[in-house]
Structure 1
Amino acid sequence: MRHTLHRLRRDDGMSTVEYTLGTLAACAFAVILYKVITSPMVQDGLTAVLRKAMNTAF
């Protein structure tokens, strides 16, 4: 029983498959974020916000 509990608690870190899936998920998220940021609608919105901020009197 003690040996089984010790074996279940052991954490040897991530395996190669887990690293691969994590890297793939991070890359997919980066691509989606890039597509959103470079879309014309978001670009227009960011430009409008920056113009408004630059024209605001302090």
Structure 2
Amino acid sequence: MVQMVRARLRVLVRGMRAARRDAGMVTSEYATGIVAAVAFAVVLYKVVTSGAVSSELQSIVKEALNARM
């Protein structure tokens, strides 16, 4: 019984050590994530500042400011 418990504990400890080794990202993953986030931000900026979207957003804000309760 004691040997079985020890064996299970060893398996759990090995699993915890393996999880700890893979817990973080490496520098290349951070760099890739930052590049992807910046690219998404640029695309979003271009979409929001385009003429059609900009005028639509302005009309939504104007309607909200002119709303009567």
Please show how residues 4-23 of structure 1 align to structure 2 within 5 Å.
6=15, 8-9=18-19, 10-11=21-22, 13-23=24-34
Q: If the length of structure 1 is used for normalisation, what is the TM-score?
A: 0.76
Larger Rg: 2
Q: Which residues of structure 2 form unaligned runs of 5+?
A: 1-10
Q: Which residues of structure 1 form unaligned runs of 5+?
A: none
Q: If the length of structure 2 is used for normalisation, what is the TM-score?
A: 0.66
Higher helix share: 2
Aligned residues: 55
RMSD: 1.8
Q: Does 1:34 align with 2:45?
A: yes
Runs of 4+ in 1 over 4 A off after TM superposition: 5-8
Instruction: Return the structure number with greater relative CO, CA threshold 8 A, min gap 6.
Output: 1
